[in-house]
Amino acid sequence: MVLDPADQHLRHVEKDILIPKIMREKTRERCSEQVEDFTRCCMDSGILMIVKCRKENSALKDCLTAYYNDPAFHEECKLEYLQERGEFRRPGAPTKKRLQKLPTSM
């Protein structure tokens, strides 16, 4: 069975799992300052992190939520996924390359 590299149709697993995974990875990069602040606070606070790190946790959630709710960001991640998928579907793509790029766990 040959799959069309230009096909834009998304399966359920792609919409609900693979594209959101790309979004999570990109938001961690884009919100890296908030992630670092929250991580540092948690490490410094120990068991009291729930109380002491509310400000950092709130800033991190606000940053992540802003990206998750942005339709343009979702579209950017979707197009990135479709481009990668198209490369893997192209005839003659090395099998080894395909195996390296496929996600193995969520």
Residue 19 placed within a domain? yes
pLDDT at 72: 97
pLDDT tens-digit readout, 39-71: 999 999 988 988 999 999 999 999 999 999 999
| Residue of 54 and 8 predicted with greater confidence | 54
Residue 70 placed within a domain? yes
Please give the residue range of the domain that contains residue 59: 13-81
pLDDT higher than threshold 80 for residue 99: no
The mean pLDDT of the chain is: 84
pLDDT at 90: 72
Residue 76 placed within a domain? yes
Residue 105 placed within a domain? no
| Residue of 30 and 5 predicted with greater confidence | 30
- Distances in Å between the Cα of 67 and the Cα atoms of 23, 29, 70, 77, 81 are 8, 11, 5, 11, 17
List alpha helices for the chain, DSSP H: 12-13, 19-30, 32-45, 49-52, 54-68, 71-89, 95-101
Residue 87 placed within a domain? no
pLDDT at 96: 52
d(C-alpha 85, C-alpha 58), whole Å: 35
Overall domain count for the chain: 1
Residue 55 placed within a domain? yes
Residue 25 placed within a domain? yes
Residue 92 placed within a domain? no
pLDDT at 95: 56
